[in-house]
Amino acid sequence: MLLILIVVVFAIMGFVVSRRLKSKFKKYSQTPLQANLSGKEIAELMLADHGIHNVTVNCVEGKLSDHYNPQNRTVNLSPDVYYGRNAAATAVSAHECGHAVQHAQAYTWLNLRSTLVPIQNASGKILNVVLIASLFGGLALFNLPLQVVGVVVVGAYGMITLFTLVTLPVEFDASRRALAWVQDRNIVTPAEYAMSKDALKWAAMTYVVAALASLATLAYYASIFFGGRD
């Protein structure tokens, strides 16, 4: 029951933050940027200002699907951001370029997160195998002691939780770089800067909720297997 409560509570929190984020982006997308630059133009300008010439700016399908891909060095912007000329598009575009700057400067937390990606993926697969095996009696079939199962589950979920925690400084730093650059470059007016900052704050909250949910779930599993609970 406690696990269900944790899932429900953080699902509600995630829903509220997601709705708030979409509301903010919709609101700030309706205010034209005084500099009249598109998200694509802002991205290219920020990359050039940081001496980055090996990163491509692409338009990808989806809404709020924006991301930086370190594998192929691409800044991928959704149509609303790629073509948008407003505070919301400015914030997202500059934020994703903030990740490209982190990559170019070998930012420690980004490097650590990249290292954790395959480990996190493997941990997720391990948890899926344990879940499926437990549903169909596989764990009993192999006669595995509860503590062994606990070590596997807690270890795997611990790696996933570590990934969500490492993601926080990466995302906050990218926003910090983005906001500093748009302000120093006079891309935005004071009012537009406030909008961009507010939009990025709510985007960051999605990662905060994910990290808290992962921590709570990890604590639950640890208490179940190693806390003397049934």
pLDDT digits (tens, 9 = 90+) for 80-89: 999 999 999 9
Structure confidence at residue 212 (pLDDT): 95
Radius of gyration of the chain (CA): 21
- Which residue type occupies 158? G
Domain count, the chain: 1
Asked if 70 contacts 114 with a C-beta cutoff of 8 angstroms, the reply is yes
Q: Is the pLDDT of residue 2 over 90?
A: no
DSSP, collapsed to helix, strand or coil, labels residue 69 as strand
Neighbour tally for 186: CB within 10 Å: 9
Phi, psi of 72 (to 5 degrees): -110, 10
24 near 91, Cβ under 8 Å? no
pLDDT at 177 over 80: yes
CA distance 87 to 190: 11
pLDDT band at 230 (very low <50, low <70, confident <90, very high): very low
**The pLDDT of residue 75:** 98
**Segment 79-120, tens digit of pLDDT:** 999 999 999 999 999 999 999 999 999 999 999 999 999 999
The predicted-structure confidence for 191-224, as pLDDT tens digits, reads as follows 999 999 999 999 999 999 999 999 999 999 898 8
Residue 9's pLDDT band, with cuts at 50, 70 and 90, is: very high
Of 44, 61, 96, 192, which one is the catalytic site residue? 96
Question: Which range marks the domain in which residue 91 is found?
Answer: 2-226
Looking at residue 146, what is its pLDDT?
A: 73
pLDDT above 80 (res 142): no
Comparing 64-68, 137-141, 173-177, the range with the smallest average pLDDT is 137-141
Whether residue 96 lies in the annotated active site: yes
Q: Is the dihedral of CA 136, 142, 146, 147 positive or negative?
A: negative
With vertex at residue 216, the alpha carbon angle to CA 214 and CA 217, rounded to the nearest 5 degrees, is 65
SS3 content of the chain, % helix, strand, coil (to 5): 75, 5, 20
